[in-house]
Amino acid sequence: MSDDFARVTAVEKTADGQYEGAVELGWDIAGVPNGGYLLAIAGRAMAESIGRPPLAVTAHYLAPAHVGPCSVLVESVRVGRRTATLTARFEQDGRESVRVLGTFGETSGADAVLVNRRPPELPPYEDCVVVPSSSPPWPALYDRLAVRWRPGDEGFMHGRPTGRAEVAGWFAFSDAAPIDAIGLLLVADAFAPPIFNIGLGPGWVPTLELTVHIRAVPTPGPLRCVFRTQFVQGGLLSEDGEIWDTAGVLVAQSRQLALTPRQ
C-alpha cells in the first residue's frame, strides 16, 4: 500500500468507537476533498474497529468536507463469524459530512464460478494518456496518483467528447505501491465522470451516494478501470465502475448517484 496514502488516511483510536484523523491538502477536486478519499478514511476506521477488511460499503454524502481534523464514530450493528456490519459517522467541527454503512470480512478466495464480463481492452500503461497534474483546471488529486486514460477518452479535455458516456484507463499510486482493500475505495471515485464525454461538463459533479463492493485483493501493478453512465435523468446521473487487476480478476465494483455537473 502507498506510504503516502496510508499516512493521509490514518486514524487513531481515542475512545471506544471513536477515531481521529485528518483530511489532508491535495486530495481534492476543485478544492473539495474527493469522496473516495473520505470514504477511505472512514473505511479504515471501521476496518480497524472490527479487525476485518471491507466487503461492501455505502457512503451518503451529507455536506462538503474540508482540509483539517476529522472524527469517525463507529458503531457495530451485527458481528458474526464471517462478516460484521458497522455504521460510521464522518464528522468535522461537530458536523456530520458522510454517513457510512458497511459489511466487513474476508473473501473466500475460491475460484470464480460465473464472470460475464471481461476487463476493458486497453493499450499498455505506457501507451495511455497521462492525466494532467493540478495545473489549472485539473484536480490536485492527480498529483498523488499515476492515472492514465485510454487514448481518445480524454477528448472532452479538448472540446472533442467521444459521444459515449464511458471513461477507461489505468490506476496506480504515484509511488507505484500495491493497492489494498482500503485503496480500492479511493479508486472507485478517482476517474473523470463519463458524462463529460457526452458534452455534459466538465464541471463539479457532487456525489450523493457511493457504493463499493470489494471482490478480491489486487495483485501488484496498475489496475484496469472502466466507468460508464447509462442514465441521466431528473438532474441525477448514475455511474457504474469495474476495477480489474493485472491477473484479470475483478477486484471491485462501484456505483454512485450524483448530481449533473455544476459549471
Q: Which residues contact 216 (CB under 8 A, 6 or more apart)?
A: 107, 245, 249, 250, 251
Topology of 3-107+117-259 in CATH?
Answer: Porin (2.40.160)
At residue 194, what is the residue type? Answer: P
| 30-73 residue pLDDT tens | 788 999 999 999 999 999 999 999 999 999 999 999 999 999 99
| 97-147 residue pLDDT tens | 999 999 999 887 667 677 888 999 999 999 999 887 544 556 778 888 999
190: region left, alpha or beta (phi > 0 left; psi from -120 to 50 alpha): alpha
Domain boundaries defined on the chain: 3-107+117-259
| 9-28 residue pLDDT tens | 999 999 999 999 999 998 98
